[in-house]
Amino acid sequence: MKEDVSLERETFAAISSPVGTGAIGVVRINGPESHKIVKKLMSKRIDDIKYRMVYHVELISENQIIDEVNLVFYKAPNSFTGDDMVEIYCHGGVIVTRKVLDALIRNGARLAERGEFTRRAFLNGKINLIEAESIYRIIEAKSEKALKIAMQNLKGALGKEIEELREELLNILAEIEVSIDYPDDIEIDENKIYMKLEAVAIKVKKKILEGRKGLHLSTGVVMAIVGKPNTGKSTLLNRLLYEDRAIVTDIPGTTRDVIKGEIDIRGVHFIIADTAGIRKTEDPIEKIGIERSIKEIQKADIILFVLDATTGFTNEDEYIYERIKSYNYLPVWNKIDTNNNIKELEIPHIEISALTGKGIRELEKKIVERVKEIIESGETSHVITYRQYEALQRAYKYLDNALKGLKIGLEFDVISIDIRKCLEEFDKLIGRTFSDDLLNTIFSNFCVGK
Ligand SMILES: Nc1nc2c(ncn2[C@@H]2O[C@H](COP(=O)(O)OP(=O)(O)OP(=O)(O)O)[C@@H](O)[C@H]2O)c(=O)[nH]1
Ligand SMILES: [Mg+2]
């Protein structure tokens, strides 16, 4: 059952429009007392409230007119949240909206928590978790494409696909269980089961592959700046971000931890990670930093391999090259403002000066060209959060286990355990089952009032 006892019977309110001045401010109140509280503040007494109708009234608190407002009453379950609810459209402006909110609170509402309206909508079964997450993504959308995908999910795109897979899996499970319960009566075709299960697994795998790409649209393309110490990685990060984010010195080994920044380059959202220079070292702190650099290499969609034109290609560069050559990397010769020592690499590279800014536009262009394919292929994906991505990965793991089990002739009751585990992952994905912790994590990202 979807019941969240701690919050259930309370009435809460929040300002739902952004802070600041605008023509209209929106204040929302939700819960069993919401209608009563608002009626108390209305200048006109209306006994027979019509729902979903706009009333034009004055709000009065402590004998003072707060504002002239429009408001709409919603009756459960016909509201966004599924609870009784009132939306008040007052004049925009920090003071007015605050005063309306204060009056609601003084009359019995409490302040809403982050994302609490959407949380109620989820708990009342108005939306599933994927839809709730897309509301957040719609608000946060960083590109038009990301917005489009989030909108499709709000209409249920990913949820529907998962429901379908879930249905197929339930059918398979039913077949298996009948044969477990009536081993003498039911002849089961193992090949058929295998093929059906494999078909589900292939679809999940496809979702995962699309998802990896789709995440770039909603969260950004991950780019790591990697190289030996002192090549100018931090200088380059600062240059790309247009701000002094990372410390720059001429001492090799300056950057110890991964430093991240986000920026749009030619319409693509990037999460850029500046990493500790990679070299053999005995310094324990530097060692940890270097381990983290290696991790960033594995996570990155594109790697900028920064080389130093004053030193040329050294053994240290060779050491790093061996570690990144299987990834999507772009060699960048830095410090070309000095007398340079560039030894031609076989592969095409870019020449820049992070210090003077020379070549940076060219570099940005190359970077975007390199990730274009990733981005375009992500447009078919409906996976928009890491939570969804990871749940799919776990679901796949169980399917894969079940398939392997079938192959080596394991008993059906063992196979059915993996299938059930996979079903659990699907349920978590759409929010058929959930924990309070999970909800807290998801909704804590929201703003108050949504
Ligand atoms: N001449 C010149 N110097 C540069 C350029 N880019 C960086 N430097 C200098 O190189 C030194 C090292 O720069 P950083 O950005 O700290 O290098 P890093 O790669 O982050 O170094 P670690 O964090 O130690 O790995 C500093 O003195 C910078 O001013 C450049 O394009 N030209
Ligand atoms: Mg650095």
Q: Is 254 in the pocket of ligand 1 (CB under 6 A)?
A: yes
Give 255 or 147, the one with higher predicted confidence.
Answer: 255
Reference 297, options 233, 250, 361; nearest CA is 233
The predicted structure's pLDDT at residue 22: 81
The predicted structure's pLDDT at residue 1: 40
Choosing among 1.20.120.430, 3.40.190.10, 1.10.443.10, 3.40.640.10, the CATH entry for 139-216+385-431 is: 1.20.120.430
Ligand lying closest to the C-alpha of residue 249: 1
CA angle 297, 354, 306 (to 5 degrees): 30
Residue nearest to atom 23 of ligand 1 (CA): 255
Q: Are 51 and 73 in contact (CB under 8 A)?
A: yes
d(C-alpha 160, C-alpha 175), whole Å:
23
Tens digits of residue pLDDT in 266-283: 878 899 999 999 998 889
The class level of CATH for 5-128 reads: alpha beta
Q: Are 178 and 186 in contact (CB under 8 A)?
A: yes
pLDDT for 362 beyond 60: yes
Domain 220-379 superfamily per CATH: P-loop containing nucleotide triphosphate hydrolases (3.40.50.300)
Intervals of CATH 1.20.120.430 along the chain? 139-216+385-431
Please identify, by atom number, the ligand 1 atom nearest to the C-alpha of residue 353.
31
Q: Is 171 in the pocket of ligand 1 (CB under 6 A)?
A: no
Tens digits of residue pLDDT in 383-398: 878 889 999 999 999 9
Intervals of CATH 3.30.1360.120 along the chain? 5-128
The predicted structure's pLDDT at residue 224: 96
Please identify, by atom number, the ligand 1 atom nearest to the C-alpha of residue 235.
15
Dist. CA 330 → ligand 1 center (Å): 18
Dihedral in degrees, nearest 10, Cα atoms 397, 402, 406, 410:
120
Dist. CA 27 → ligand 2 center (Å): 47
Dist. CA 93 → ligand 1 center (Å): 48
Q: Which of 228, 230, 281 to mutate to test the pocket of ligand 1 (most atoms within 8 A of CB)?
A: 230
Q: What one-character-per-residue DSSP string does 298-326 give?
A: HH-SEEEEEEETTT-S-HHHHHHHHHHTT
Average pLDDT, integer, range 160-175: 94
Tens digits of residue pLDDT in 36-90: 999 999 998 888 999 999 999 999 999 999 999 999 999 999 999 999 999 999 9
Helix (H, G, I), strand (E, B) or coil at 119: helix
Intervals of CATH 3.40.50.300 along the chain? 220-379
Instruction: Find out whether 441 is annotated in a ligand binding site.
Output: no
**Residue ranges of E strands in 16-91:** 24-30, 54-61, 64-74, 85-91
CA angle 358, 361, 364 (to 5 degrees): 125
Q: Is 382 in the pocket of ligand 1 (CB under 6 A)?
A: no
Q: Quick one: what percent of the chain has pLDDT higher than 70?
A: 95
Q: Are 450 and 117 in contact (CB under 8 A)?
A: yes
Dist. CA 355 → ligand 2 center (Å): 13
